[in-house]
Amino acid sequence: MMSFLQVQDLAKRYGGTTVFERVNFTMERGEFVCIIGHSGCGKTTILNILAGLDRATEGAVVMDNREVAGPSLERGVVFQGHALMPWLSAMNNIAFAVRSRWPDWNRIQVQTHCQKFIDLVGLTGAEHKKPAMLSGGMKQRVGIARAFAIQPKMLLLDEPFGALDALTRGTIQDELLRICEATNQTVFMITHDVDEAILLADRILLMSNGPGACLAEAVINPLAKPRDRHSIHHDAQYYGVRNHIVDFLVNRSKRYQSGELRSARSPSAKIVNLR
């Protein structure tokens, strides 16, 4: 059977500069995948191509047996900036997306549906506040609620917690885990935080340094689910997977860029199972 998402020989070039090439990976329905790599390796470009917001120079993306050729409500996107409309309340920011997804719904249907996701992200009582009245973490919760409310087949997250303080970041990570477990949501997420990736992801994709980046390794997360931030570091496998990823970022990613490991590159990333 074909995987839910197939990324085939993806490459992006600007003039004579290759940002990345030969990027191949698949995702199954309900899987949570994080991608990590240094700035300039093309992570956000890959996410934008998956979202249909950018086009690859080479290769194709197929989701649920249909090629991704442009933006679609089948894919929800959350960026690092909340991207809320400042003149609308939290409820109406979410309702704007919901009406786009279901234009025939009446006001009560829209409001009831929006309230469900406002409650889900812990914003009950803040429905009628505009973005200027919300904290950074609350704004990101509205963005996440808006993305989930259109019930996309896939959720794309571009460092959504990068600008938040550690306490708020941890709280929203927990909310995201809870919602994904409840909805079996398929998620592709960019992060620079190794611990965040280990907490959230089923698989962690490691990009070599750019330009000329490639998808070097795909690390299967050996920590059993459900994972809890307060206890994962007690798992005997935690430091093994963490050290493997950090060593890649510090050492092996540079060796790919220098060409030392370039001859070892293959059309598919090296599968790493640390169990």
The tens place of each residue's pLDDT in the chain, 275 residues long, gives: 789 999 999 999 998 899 999 999 999 999 999 999 999 899 999 999 999 999 999 999 999 999 998 999 999 999 887 789 999 999 999 999 999 999 999 999 999 999 999 998 889 999 999 999 999 889 988 999 999 999 999 999 999 887 778 888 888 888 888 888 888 999 999 999 999 999 999 999 999 998 899 999 999 999 998 888 888 989 989 999 999 999 999 988 877 655 566 554 455 677 888 77
Q: Which helix (H) or strand (E) holds 273?
A: strand 270-273
The CA radius of gyration of the chain, in Å to the nearest whole number, is 19
Task: Output the six-digit token pair for 150.
Answer: 């259109």
Are the C-beta atoms of residues 24 and 60 closer than 8 Å to each other?
no
Sequence-distant (6+) residues with CB within 8 A of 259 are none
User: Is the bond preceding 211 in cis, omega lying within 30 degrees of 0?
Assistant: yes
Q: Cα separations (Å) of 242 from 158, 193, 214?
A: 21, 11, 21
Cα dihedral 221, 240, 262, 46, rounded to 10, equals 30
Question: Sign of torsion, CA 228 230 235 238?
Answer: positive
Domain boundaries, the chain: 5-74+156-273, 82-151
The pTM of the whole model exceeds 0.85: yes
Q: Is 35 helix (H, G, I), strand (E, B) or coil?
A: strand
List the end-to-end C-alpha distance of the chain, in Å, as a whole number: 26
110 HSE (CA, 13 A, CB side): 18
Q: Cα separations (Å) of 116 from 77, 112, 145, 220, 241?
A: 19, 6, 9, 33, 37
Pairing of strands 187-190, 154-158: parallel
Are the C-beta atoms of residues 5 and 61 closer than 8 Å to each other?
yes
State which CATH number among 3.40.50.300, 2.30.30.40, 3.30.450.40, 3.40.50.1580 fits the domain covering 5-74+156-273. 3.40.50.300
User: Is the bond preceding 226 in cis, omega lying within 30 degrees of 0?
Assistant: yes
